[in-house]
Amino acid sequence: MGVRTSILSRIPSVDEILKTDAARVAVARFGRPRVVAAIRRGTDAARQASDTGDAPVPGPDAIAAAALAWLEADARPNARPVFNLTGTVLHTNLGRAVLAEAAVEAATVAMREAIALEFDLVQGKRGERDALVRGLLCDLTGAEDATVVNNNAAAVLLTLNTLAKGRDAIVSRGELIEIGGAFRMPEIMARAGARLVEVGTTNRTHEKDYAAAIGPKTGLILKVHTSNYRIEGFTRSVPAKAIAALARASHVPLLNDLGSGTLVDLARHGLAHEQTVREAVAEGADLVTFSGDKLLGGPQAGFIVGRRDLIARLNRNPMKRALRIDKIRLAAIEATLRLYRDPDRLAERLPTLRMMARPCADIAAAAERLLPKIAAAVGPRFEAGIVACDSQIGSGALPTETIASAGIALRVAGAKSSGRALAALVTAFRELERPVIGRVENDAFMLDLRCLEDEAGFLRNLSPLRIGERG
């Protein structure tokens, strides 16, 4: 018998491996076919290793344990929770707003049960899904009517398509924004079938520019919140109120796309004032659009509030059906909006606002508590220190505002080859059971603690780190 045959005969058979304790555990959890497949991966790997060298042949327990570990790693959800220590409260890549408990509960009920989604419980007949949130939206914004679609990009698309298809949509050159991804105002206009009519210049637009552009082909005037940038210096833009007066005189509707759109005065919570949706409605915009998952702190959604006749036209557009949202999100939106009826307790209950308004001293205290434990977890190869830092709101809300915050900065101890060691540290945090996402700044891995609410969970999660002990 050749050496190779003898090794092959020593690799345990699948049946033999299936009899081990680890394999039994694996079969109970993942089902026999997947365990058999995972074991085959193990035996194939053992065979290959024995072909190429003198690797010791693993026993049945080792192969079963490896198969179980692989199945466990593979079973971790792709949509895993992470710790957002980036300092950006509404991080688009991390799912933006974290929902309020009330919204989570409402969404769970809607998932589990049949709900009166399009059913009028008073009349006992077919109803409309928008009715679930229309009253709340009107109350909170002072608008006549309201509708909800998939996101704010969809809200703008639907409005342009309904009111300006084959017609002119007038917008200032200073507001032709791109909001990351593929949302560029001129392209959205083209897709909506509207003809873009640019007025003014990049830095200055005057009332007379709008007035000169309005004509028989005008379908809509659009005002866009310059969410993610600010033009400074020799600038002029026309306030929505003045455009609204012009629009009304010419019988042309004005859409004010607020982007983030807040329902409360953020100055009340120690943040910079941002025009509220109610203020935008009161200024005379015929329609106002805003996001559900930015400052509002709800699930992804786009709201359109304003004139009843125009909302009715939007609802008659077949595109509305393609952009509608499901019962789970509607339930979460309703619960989120209800929180706004009690403004005194809003900051306590709505995580987005709670995190944005969290006092710096409170965050610094958390940094004091966590510093020794984080330092111990990363080991002596890294220096850990408390630093003042700036959080931002994110998602294009209040772009130039930062909020004073505190965090832990981790640096490679000593000067040499810090780049690679720091990168390894960042990776190690990302590979934790619940990945920790921070930001790299000035040769340090920065953990902004503003959005860390579960300190105990965070510390438990750190225990496998032990970077200092890795070679």
Ligand X SMILES: *Cc1c(COP(=O)(O)O)cnc(C)c1O
Q: How far apart are CA 228 and CA 180, in angstroms?
A: 9
277 scored as a contact of ligand X (CB under 6 A): no
Which stretches does DSSP call E strand in 338-402?
382-391
Task: Kindly tell me which of 63 and 196 has the beta carbon lying closer to ligand X.
Answer: 196
Count of residues interacting with ligand X (CB under 6 A): 15
396 scored as a contact of ligand X (CB under 6 A): yes
151 scored as a contact of ligand X (CB under 6 A): yes
Q: How far apart are CA 171 and CA 196, in angstroms?
A: 7
* Torsion angle defined by CA atoms of residues 43, 46, 52 and 56, in that order, rounded to the nearest 10 degrees: -150
Task: Kindly tell me which of 71 and 156 has the beta carbon lying closer to ligand X.
Answer: 156
**Which DSSP letter does residue 449 get?**
-
Find the binder of ligand X among 147, 152, 237, 352 (CB under 6 A).
Answer: 152
153 scored as a contact of ligand X (CB under 6 A): yes
Which tokens in the block code for residue 62?
């080792």
Which tokens in the block code for residue 227?
């969410």
257 scored as a contact of ligand X (CB under 6 A): yes
Task: Kindly tell me which of 153 and 422 has the beta carbon lying closer to ligand X.
Answer: 153
CA neighbor of 236 nearest in space, from 211, 203, 197, 275? 203
Task: Kindly tell me which of 244 and 295 has the beta carbon lying closer to ligand X.
Answer: 295
Give me the least distance between CB of 449 and ligand X, in Å please.
Answer: 26
Q: How far apart are CA 441 and CA 37, in angstroms?
A: 44
Task: Kindly tell me which of 149 and 214 has the beta carbon lying closer to ligand X.
Answer: 149
Give me the least distance between CB of 299 and ligand X, in Å please.
Answer: 11
Give me the least distance between CB of 257 and ligand X, in Å please.
Answer: 5
Q: How far apart are CA 61 and CA 168, in angstroms?
A: 72
Task: Kindly tell me which of 224 and 335 has the beta carbon lying closer to ligand X.
Answer: 224
318 touches 83 (CB < 8 A): no
Which residues, numbered 29-58, are part of the site for ligand X (CB under 6 A)? none
Which tokens in the block code for residue 192?
């909506």
Q: Interface with ligand X by CB under 6 A: which range of 150-158, 191-199, 275-283, 449-457?
A: 150-158
253 touches 304 (CB < 8 A): no
Give me the least distance between CB of 152 and ligand X, in Å please.
Answer: 3
Task: Kindly tell me which of 179 and 244 has the beta carbon lying closer to ligand X.
Answer: 179
461 scored as a contact of ligand X (CB under 6 A): no
- Name the pairing type of β-strands 403-412 and 444-448: antiparallel
CA neighbor of 103 nearest in space, from 333, 353, 341, 327? 333
219 scored as a contact of ligand X (CB under 6 A): no
Task: Tell me the CA end-to-end span of the chain in Å, nearest whole number.
Answer: 42
* Torsion angle defined by CA atoms of residues 439, 440, 442 and 446, in that order, rounded to the nearest 10 degrees: 50
Which tokens in the block code for residue 13?
């058979």
Which residues, numbered 223-252, are part of the site for ligand X (CB under 6 A)? 224-225, 227
Q: How far apart are CA 243 and CA 177, in angstroms?
A: 19
287 scored as a contact of ligand X (CB under 6 A): no
86 scored as a contact of ligand X (CB under 6 A): no
259 scored as a contact of ligand X (CB under 6 A): yes
Give me the least distance between CB of 330 and ligand X, in Å please.
Answer: 16
Task: Kindly tell me which of 119 and 183 has the beta carbon lying closer to ligand X.
Answer: 183
Angle between the N-to-C axes of helices 185-192 and 152-164, in degrees from 0 to 180, rounded to the nearest 10: 50
Q: Interface with ligand X by CB under 6 A: which range of 15-23, 124-132, 151-159, 340-348?
A: 151-159
Give how far Cα 452 sits from Cα of 218, 274, 364, Å: 49, 25, 12
336 scored as a contact of ligand X (CB under 6 A): no
Binding mask 410-439 toward ligand X (x if CB under 6 A, else -) reads ------------------------------
Give me the least distance between CB of 254 and ligand X, in Å please.
Answer: 15
201 touches 173 (CB < 8 A): yes
Give me the least distance between CB of 258 and ligand X, in Å please.
Answer: 7
Q: Interface with ligand X by CB under 6 A: which range of 44-52, 117-125, 145-153, 239-247?
A: 145-153
302 scored as a contact of ligand X (CB under 6 A): yes
Give me the least distance between CB of 83 and ligand X, in Å please.
Answer: 23
CA atoms 330, 292, 314, 179: torsion sign: negative
Find the binder of ligand X among 34, 183, 282, 313 (CB under 6 A).
Answer: 183
The residue at minimum Cβ distance from ligand X is 259
Give me the least distance between CB of 333 and ligand X, in Å please.
Answer: 13
Calculate ∠ Cα 274-302-353, nearest 5°: 40
Give me the least distance between CB of 97 and ligand X, in Å please.
Answer: 11
291 scored as a contact of ligand X (CB under 6 A): yes
107 touches 326 (CB < 8 A): no
- Name the pairing type of β-strands 168-172 and 218-224: parallel
CA neighbor of 336 nearest in space, from 115, 126, 107, 118? 107
Task: Kindly tell me which of 60 and 302 has the beta carbon lying closer to ligand X.
Answer: 302
Q: Is 328 helix (H, G, I), strand (E, B) or coil?
A: helix
**Chain contacts with ligand X (rule: CB under 6 A):** 151-153, 156, 179, 183, 224-225, 227, 257, 259-260, 291, 302, 396
